[in-house]
Amino acid sequence: MKGKLVLEDGSVFEGSLLGGAPTVGEVVFNTGMTGYQEILTDPSYADQIITLTYPLVGNYGTLNAITQGPKPYCKGFIVGELCDFPSNWQNEGLFSEYLRLHGIPCLYDVDTRAITRTIRNHGVMKGVLVRADYPMEDIQKLFKQDLPTDQVMRVTTKWQGMRGDKNAEFHVAVIDYGVKENILRSLEVAGCRLTVFPADSKAEDVLAVNPDGIFLSNG
């Protein structure tokens, strides 16, 4: 279906819409040439609508092993061309189907660099992703919604957990404010065992598990 992005300053960018549910969020951009799945699942993008400047997205499909969080926390995705014919020996499925699976609306066939220039020149703004025929009065109601401010508690792990080799030389306490999976993997590869704590953990809880260890806060 046809869809559009409407920014707070009145700018409108039209394209095709995957997923029809209206959504509102802070619109940001990323200039990476690869890593669209990692960007989508990065917890630091919680409640944001992500615009990718690289023109072709989905060309190497998806791979569950490279996700950076248990699920996408962003509100929407905006890309130039959405590829449905990926070529990659590790491909596990279409990126468009991955977006559908997680209920992330995606606007495509749109000039993402024009959106990026607008954000860069005027600053970060609220944006609304809707069908092309969505009534303007309803769009204005969406703009009046307050954006969430509890992102950390929504993306943090819900319980304390152990990772890595229990006989590893180093024991690292990780306080999760939105840690990316790749950071945890890298610490394991470096020979660390990890205890991952929720963001609201008390200092005494951390010290009880790791009194003499290494501490990492990540968000």
Q: Where are the domains of the chain?
A: 2-150, 156-218
| Per-residue pLDDT at 219 exceeds 90 | no
pLDDT band at 215 (very low <50, low <70, confident <90, very high): low
Q: Express each pLDDT in 2-57 by its tens digit.
A: 999 999 999 999 999 999 789 999 999 999 999 999 999 999 999 999 999 999 99
What is the structure's pLDDT at 218?
63
Q: Express each pLDDT in 140-167 by its tens digit.
A: 999 999 999 999 999 999 999 999 998 9
Across 183-189, average pLDDT: 94
Residue of 156, 117, 139 lying closest to 24 (CA atoms): 139
CATH 3.30.70.3190 holds for 2-150: no
User: What are 213's two structure tokens?
Assistant: 């260890």
CB 171 within 8 A of CB 192: yes
Backbone angles phi, psi at 72, to 5 degrees: -70, 140
Q: Express each pLDDT in 59-83 by its tens digit.
A: 999 999 999 999 999 999 999 999 9
User: What are 60's two structure tokens?
Assistant: 């190497």
